[in-house]
Chains A and B, each alone.
Chain A
Amino acid sequence: KAGVTQTPRYLIKTRGQQVTLSCSPISGHRSVSWYQQTPGQGLQFLFEYFSETQRNKGNFPGRFSGRQFSNSRSEMNVSTLELGDSALYLCASMRVLSGQGRDEQYFGPGTRLTVT
């Protein structure tokens, strides 16, 4: 079974630009979560999508947004990029078994975003 895939793996943007990152979950997984990871702050939760609906959201400004498609693939968008947005952006997918609480979460390799 293929793992979680993220594209692109590396990206360099300049301040003020916008960026869209893509995530394809493991087949059969309906939940996709996005995280930002930096050396200083660690892993910070951005948002989670389940069945095309955002069901959890972290404490990030509105410049960070996401969506999920009917095939569970997800995209996240960051508008008006700032230098502080430079980070590793990780996507994780999960099955979500009804009535059994949270299932295990599997991460993709991440997209390394550098803002100059």
Chain B
Amino acid sequence: TQLLEQSPQFLSIQEGENLTVYCNSSSVFSSLQWYRQEPGEGPVLLVTVVTGGEVKKLKRLTFQFGDARKDSSLHITAAQPGDTGLYLCAGAPQGGSEKLVFGKGMKLTVNP
């Protein structure tokens, strides 16, 4: 069974601070997606990383896919209250037809 472990599970920080969320597995994934979910809503896709070592930037968010395609990280610079939410990573197993594997998420609270 493929698992994705996210850490930390909870984080409460002040506005302006930086943070990094990790998503780790012993399995290789063909791609990895990051989502943000606000209470009562569905997850919103932030980014998909496909190539080992790939780095993608989305404004203050930086996503990295590990060289071996087993892990990923999300770094947020100068966090803002609007960044508050549940951050989920999801890996696509190699092969194509298998279901996505989701981590349990990291609940982020950014205090003004």
| Interface of A toward B, CB cutoff 8 Å | 4, 6, 33, 42-43, 45, 48, 55-56, 58, 88, 90, 92, 100-102, 104-110, 112
Q: How far apart sit A104 and B30, CA to CA, in the bound complex (Å)?
A: 12
Q: How far apart sit A26 and B31, CA to CA, in the bound complex (Å)?
A: 21
Task: Give, as a whole number of angstroms, the nearest-CB distance from B88 to chain A.
Answer: 7
Q: Is the CB of A102 within 8 A of B92?
A: yes
Q: Is the CB of A90 within 8 A of B102?
A: no
Choose from B35, B40, B97, B103 the contact partner of A55 (Cβ within 8 Å). B97
Task: Give, as a whole number of angstroms, the nearest-CB distance from A74 to chain B.
Answer: 15
Which residues in chain B, 85-112, are within 8 Å of chain A measured between CB atoms?
A: 88, 90, 92, 94-100, 102-105
A-side interface mostly: strand
Please judge, given known A-B contacts A101-B92, A102-B92, A104-B33, whether A45 and B42 are in contact too, CB under 8 Å: no
Q: A42-B105, A43-B88, A90-B42 are in contact. List 10 more A-B contacts (CB 8 A).
A: A33-B100, A42-B104, A92-B42, A101-B31, A102-B96, A104-B45, A106-B45, A107-B45, A110-B41, A110-B42
B-side interface mostly: loop
Task: Give, as a whole number of angstroms, the nearest-CB distance from B93 to chain A.
Answer: 8
Residues of B within 8 A of A107 (CB): 35, 42-45
Residues of A within 8 A of B42 (CB): 4, 6, 90, 92, 107-110
Residues of B within 8 A of A100 (CB): 96
Q: Is the CB of B97 within 8 A of A105?
A: no
Q: Is the CB of A101 within 8 A of B40?
A: no
**Residue B27 at the chain A interface, CB threshold 8 Å:** no
